[in-house]
Structure 1
Amino acid sequence: MRFNMLQRNRPTKYRRRFFSSLLLMSFFGAILGIWAYSSYSADVDEKAGNEVNSILVNEHFNVFEPVLPGRSVALPRDFQFHPEYQHEWWHYFASLKDDRGKQYSVQWSFFRVATDERETPGWQSPQIYISNIVISSESKVWKEQRLARGGIGQAGMTNGPFRIWIDNWSWRGLGNTPFPGRLHVKTDSFGLELNTVTKGPYVLNGDNGYQKKHDLLPIASYSFSAPFLSLSGVLNLDGVAKKVAGTAWVNKEWGSGLLGMGQQGWDWFVFNLDDGTALSISRYRHNKQLPYVFGTLATRSGQVYQLTESDISMKPLKKTTLFNGKRMPLQWVISVPKYEINLTTRIKRKDMWLPFVIPYWEGPITANGSHNATGFMQLTGY
């Protein structure tokens, strides 16, 4: 009773701050619970919710900016953050070789999620930041995750020059875009410094950057890619510095509710083909509905071909049981007959389940068939 009386007598703004703090604590508690669950659980029932859609489905009581087809993505403007939307996600995939020809893969993600729609500074900021780094070779995987809240300087973004950071991990650009720029990550056992420049055009996915993800529901995001990147730098692995060089692919996506109710997750593939083109294919899976399939084929000369379900064939060949009991389709046949593309994928490592707060299988793949290709596969919601 005393607690209720005290709360009733406080001004509205203090009550709002109080409940906002409770919401933030609940969010972190849910995140930690999901993290522990995903680390040790077996398969999630296909008819039930899962670790991914519990975070990425928009809550009905929050009011964020909607994703609408009339708004086109514009660069360099949309390299900046969009706090009026609920989610924002950067992906960086790199394929590298050292001086001796040994191959390495780098996966870096930077994710922002808002617990509510307010734009308040300091400890009242509703922004949560999550970043993951994964480096893999033929013999070992290095990985780490960072979580931070916005508003207190621990994580965020600035423009002019471009910079996004969480703790001592950062991406810095020389101007108001990430390119040319440097990705810098340091942990207790490994780190990297990679300088990245563009070697081809940016690609707007979907309809000028508006990407639908469901036939009937208003589920969509804004999305663009930089699939033609060149890089050089240093990997520091277990105390040994290795000079490396290679190629990279960056994708940025933002919106409010990246999944709709009943959506279970997605299967996403990015390829650099041996003819110089870049291919991205996505399949969003639904409960009791056919999946929604889309993609983008881009050339270095600036031609972009948007692909729909009628253009794409995706067939998982078999399911593989992971160490944690999850069964996942790790080998696929992907075809785009209209452009004479037929690829059979192969993983480089089986043990690429990432038990982060947003858990998924993600790792480097190769493909052969009509083309030879290298790329990455991300499978969520299993």
Structure 2
Amino acid sequence: MKVRVSLKYLIGLLIFASVVSVTSIVYHDYQFEDEVEPNNEIRALLSSDTKHAFLPVLPNNPVALPKDSPFHPDYQQEWFHYFANVRDKQGHSYSVQWSFFRIAHDERLEELGWLNSQVYFSSAVISSNRKVWREQRVARGGIGQAGVNALPLRMWIDDWAWRALGRNPFPGHLDVKTDTFSLSLYSDLSGPYVLPGDKGFQRKHETEPTATYNLEAPFIKVYGQLKLTKDTDPIAVEGSAFMSKEWGSGLMSNKQQGWDKFVLKLDEDTTLSVNRYRHEEELPYLFGTLSSKEKTIVLQNKDIAILPLNKTVIEGGRVLPLEWRILVPRYNIDLKTAPVNKQSWLPFVVPYWEGAIKTTGTDIAQGYMQLTGY
């Protein structure tokens, strides 16, 4: 059974319902590469709203901490994303994903109560090589159900929360409880923050003005507990994580089909983050960073090649390019990626495939992949 969720219906539901906790399922037929049918729901959600006066994303406005740690309500959208690769004491691997997304649908950004225009989405996912545990929350701003505090930094939706000790995200504690699983993870930096693009200003297209502000933390140490069912004991885990934050007034251009994102921990001191933005009737636009604890190298379109290798049929009949080749010739990087768990499609309000990946080639690495718009 295929279900389509209308964006107008969803926002109407958020405005008029007093308590909202929704997991939305959006399925679309997939055609590979040049035959892709644009995902209209994703585009409507993440494209720029020309009817309302949100702040534009402009160059020469460097991202800086701590001023850019809290959310930016004058911009239309904002996305905080956290991904961790962890192991338990027996050596079993898990990945943990947490996203906190904000979108405003008109200028009533600071109103109290139901007049507030901010809508928040949050998702939590735990996955192993055999199973995926996932849940999503959706809430309206202005009524106390979800929001962001600046000092100390706190992001919450219902009883899910990220709490920091100060203005910056780290050290931070992620606490998520659902009816089936829960997690409690403590995270701290083991290296510097990174500003992609031009001091955090990242273009998403060769000629169009689509751009966002960005902040990354490629070097994070993690420890804590996962509880996979209500009746099992917590599992102690530790590992590493990657955090990204992106905001602007249009995370996608009007002709964009989606994006493919890869983050790979090449070694203890080096992280590769690359992105492939797909547009109608145009070659993909590529960008990324190669970050060490000493310096960050900004990668441009000409520096990277990202090529899909195989199409994979996953549960439900969806076809996705789950194996890729990533080349950064200037730095002698040539990788082939493979998913740890192929069944990592997340049927959320913004639907996408995301999960842990591993590589062969010049580096034996681990990390994660995010595929949207398929």
Name the TM-score, length of structure 1 as normaliser. 0.90
Q: Which amino acid aligns with 1:113?
A: I
Superposition pairs for residues 1-382 of structure 1, below 5 Å? 24-25=11-12, 35-38=24-27, 41-43=28-30, 46-119=36-109, 120-238=111-229, 239-274=232-267, 276-301=269-294, 303-382=295-374
- SS of 1:349's partner is coil
Q: Which amino acid aligns with 1:97?
A: R
- SS of 2:234's partner is strand
Unaligned runs of 5+ in 2: 1-7
Which has the larger Rg? 1
Conserved? CA contact 2:225–2:237, under 8 Å? yes
| Distance across 2 between alignment mates of 1:188 and 1:35 | 17
Q: Which amino acid aligns with 1:245?
A: E
> Cα deviation per residue 1:191-215 (whole Å; 9 max; x = unaligned)?
0110100000000010000000011
Q: CA deviation at 1:143?
A: 0.3
- SS of 1:290's partner is coil
Q: Which amino acid aligns with 1:70?
A: N
Q: CA deviation at 1:139?
A: 2.6
| Distance across 2 between alignment mates of 1:34 and 1:181 | 26
> How many residue pairs end up in the alignment?
358
Q: CA deviation at 1:247?
A: 0.4
Conserved? CA contact 1:42–1:324, under 8 Å? no
| Distance across 2 between alignment mates of 1:180 and 1:109 | 17
Q: CA deviation at 1:274?
A: 2.3
Q: Which amino acid aligns with 2:128?
A: S
| Distance across 2 between alignment mates of 1:173 and 1:33 | 27
Q: CA deviation at 1:47?
A: 4.5
| Distance across 1 between alignment mates of 2:159 and 2:30 | 35
| Distance across 1 between alignment mates of 2:148 and 2:15 | 21
Q: CA deviation at 1:223?
A: 0.3
Q: CA deviation at 1:237?
A: 1.1
| Distance across 2 between alignment mates of 1:50 and 1:325 | 20
| Distance across 1 between alignment mates of 2:191 and 2:142 | 35
> Cα deviation per residue 1:32-67 (whole Å; 9 max; x = unaligned)?
9993442xx422662544332121111221221000
| Distance across 2 between alignment mates of 1:367 and 1:330 | 12
Q: Which amino acid aligns with 2:285?
A: Y
- SS of 1:134's partner is strand
| Distance across 1 between alignment mates of 2:23 and 2:189 | 37
| Distance across 1 between alignment mates of 2:300 and 2:73 | 30
| Distance across 2 between alignment mates of 1:59 and 1:27 | 19
In angstroms, what is the RMSD of aligned CA positions? 2.1
> Cα deviation per residue 1:67-96 (whole Å; 9 max; x = unaligned)?
001211011110111000000001101011
Judging by fraction of residues, say which structure has more helix. 1
- SS of 1:105's partner is strand
- SS of 1:25's partner is helix
> Cα deviation per residue 1:104-157 (whole Å; 9 max; x = unaligned)?
110110000111122222210000000001101123210000000000110001
Q: Which amino acid aligns with 2:282?
A: Q
> Cα deviation per residue 1:333-368 (whole Å; 9 max; x = unaligned)?
101011111111010011000000100000000112
- SS of 2:40's partner is coil
Q: Which amino acid aligns with 1:108?
A: W
- SS of 2:24's partner is helix
Conserved? CA contact 1:97–1:103, under 8 Å? yes
User: What does residue 4 of structure 2 align with?
Assistant: none
Question: Would the alpha carbon gap of residues 196 and 37 (structure 1) be closer, same or farther in structure 2, given more than 3 Å must change?
Answer: closer
- SS of 2:56's partner is coil
Question: Would the alpha carbon gap of residues 59 and 33 (structure 1) be closer, same or farther in structure 2, given more than 3 Å must change?
Answer: farther
Percent same amino acid at aligned positions? 50
Conserved? CA contact 1:23–1:115, under 8 Å? no
Question: Would the alpha carbon gap of residues 323 and 32 (structure 1) be closer, same or farther in structure 2, given more than 3 Å must change?
Answer: farther
Unaligned runs of 5+ in 1: 1-20
Conserved? CA contact 1:96–1:105, under 8 Å? yes
Deviates more, 1:206-215 or 1:109-118: 109-118
| Distance across 2 between alignment mates of 1:47 and 1:247 | 36
Conserved? CA contact 1:86–1:117, under 8 Å? no
| Distance across 2 between alignment mates of 1:253 and 1:236 | 29
Conserved? CA contact 2:23–2:136, under 8 Å? no
- SS of 2:283's partner is strand
Question: Would the alpha carbon gap of residues 374 and 358 (structure 1) be closer, same or farther in structure 2, given more than 3 Å must change?
Answer: same
> Cα deviation per residue 1:232-267 (whole Å; 9 max; x = unaligned)?
111111132111111000000000011111111000
Q: Which amino acid aligns with 1:320?
A: T
User: What does residue 5 of structure 2 align with?
Assistant: none
